[in-house]
């Protein structure tokens, strides 16, 4: 058990947590980030994408409703301009179908707002995203090892119990690969895994535009997350611009709204750069959200508003400690407990 989990257990007593929270005040907006809700424990896709079971998400919302002031993205700028304000915001990345089927009904039940950052290409042409395809290829292949020495030294052995580690190594290599290298890595993996006909259909993987419009009409905020979810900083200026303005154009066409908010794919400090910020400015984006921990404060740069990951392996104690004492549990760069965040 990690140090943070142990400390969070010590803080399980609500009275103690309340005393500490009053004695050690924090200021700003704690912006939580989710990807998927439900049970991913047997999925052939990237299991790290599940942020909470339905039951855990329900309990988290109930806790936030009672103990926090949850605001929507439209209220973040004014909240940050006021001294001493303390708020929580809820965000989801990518556009998975379970966001609509499982998370959205719970948000409505608790009457809480959330924001959904959509990679529009997945909605327009449903396909497996690179992270889910990498996980699926490694989990379903019948070959005993993979050799991708250009990106990862040594053979990748696929013995029982080792596939999760291989998936993680491949995802890191993919995220670090510049330009077309990432696509070449995935092509090599497809070839070696020889899954051809095993490729799972992607029906019911993503929301559709009707669902997204329904959420937008009922108090949820819709933001941009590019078209194809590349790591922007690894792409040329022209590609970055196409990913950002293309996403904005699809949101405008389908929802009749401007892309005021944007979340960087992967969201680590090196996943976006000065060129990205220029493209966002040209597209009229008001706030852009990163994903490596920290509390949003009035000093947060407009195009690097911090968010923290919620992970399915997180116990209730830790979630509550995070929400009450984020200055200790949601520090910038080390993200959260035990590096369980998927960083997508």
Binding site for Zn ion (CB under 5 A): 93-94, 265, 344
Closest separation in Å from C-beta 209 to Zn ion: 18
The nearer residue to Zn ion, 265 or 293, going by C-beta atoms, is 265
Cβ proximity to Zn ion, 104 vs 291, nearer residue: 291
Rounded to the nearest whole angstrom, what is the least distance from the CB of residue 43 to Zn ion in the complex?
A: 17
Could you tell me the CA-to-CA distances from 332 to 238, 251, 300, 335 in Å, in that order? 30, 30, 12, 6
Burial class (CB in 10 A: 0-12, 13-18, 19+), 214: middle
Question: E strands along the chain, which residues?
Answer: 28-34, 36-37, 50-52, 86-94, 115-118, 145-146, 156-157, 221-224, 261-263, 287-289, 308-309
Question: Strand pairing partners for 262?
Answer: 224, 288
Min dist CB 151 to Zn ion, Å, is 21
Cβ nearer to Zn ion, comparing 38 with 265: 265
CB of 25 to Zn ion, least distance (A): 32
| Best CA proximity match to 51, nearest among 93, 112, 87, 106 | 93
- Quick one: 151 or 291, whose CB is closer to Zn ion? 291
Query: In whole angstroms, how close is the CB of 27 to Zn ion at the nearest point?
Result: 28
DSSP 302: T
Smallest separation, CB 12 to Zn ion (Å)? 32
- Tell me the longest C-alpha to C-alpha distance in the chain: 60
Q: Which three-class secondary structure state does DSSP give residue 25?
A: coil
Nearer to Zn ion, 116 or 193 (CB): 116
């Amino acid at each position: 058990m990690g140090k943070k989990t142990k400390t969070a257990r010590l803080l399980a007593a609500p009275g103690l947590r309340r005393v500490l929270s009053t004695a050690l005040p924090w200021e700003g907006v704690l912006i939580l980030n989710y990807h998927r809700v439900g049970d991913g424990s047997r999925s052939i896709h990237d299991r790290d994408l599940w942020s909470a079971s339905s039951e855990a998400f329900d309990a988290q919302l109930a806790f936030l409703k009672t103990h926090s002031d949850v605001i929507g993205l439209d209220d973040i700028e004014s909240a940050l301009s006021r001294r001493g304000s303390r708020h929580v915001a809820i965000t989801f990345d990518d556009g998975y179908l379970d966001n609509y089927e499982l998370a959205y009904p719970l948000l409505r039940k608790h009457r809480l707002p959330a924001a959904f950052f959509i990679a529009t290409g997945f909605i327009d042409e449903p396909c497996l995203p690179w992270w889910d395809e990498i996980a699926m290829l490694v989990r379903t292949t019948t070959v005993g090892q993979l050799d991708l020495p250009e990106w990862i030294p040594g053979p990748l052995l696929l013995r029982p119990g080792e596939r999760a580690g291989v998936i993680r190594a491949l995802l890191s290599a993919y995220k670090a690969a510049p330009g077309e290298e990432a696509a070449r890595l995935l092509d090599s993996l497809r070839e070696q895994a020889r899954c051809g006909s095993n490729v799972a259909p992607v029906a019911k993987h993503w929301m559709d535009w009707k669902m997204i419009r329904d959420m937008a009409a009922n108090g949820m905020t819709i933001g941009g997350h590019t078209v194809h979810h590349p790591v922007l900083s690894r792409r040329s200026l022209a590609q970055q611009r196409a990913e950002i303005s293309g996403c904005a154009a699809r949101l405008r066409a389908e929802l009749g709204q401007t892309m005021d908010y944007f979340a960087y794919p992967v969201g680590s400090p090196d996943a976006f750069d000065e060129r990205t910020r220029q493209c966002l400015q040209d597209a009229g984006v008001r706030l852009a959200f990163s994903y490596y921990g920290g509390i949003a404060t009035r000093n947060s740069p407009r195009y690097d508003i911090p968010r923290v990951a919620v992970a399915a392996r997180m116990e209730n104690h830790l979630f509550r400690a995070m929400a009450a004492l984020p200055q200790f549990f949601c520090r910038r760069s080390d993200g959260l407990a035990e590096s369980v965040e998927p960083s997508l």
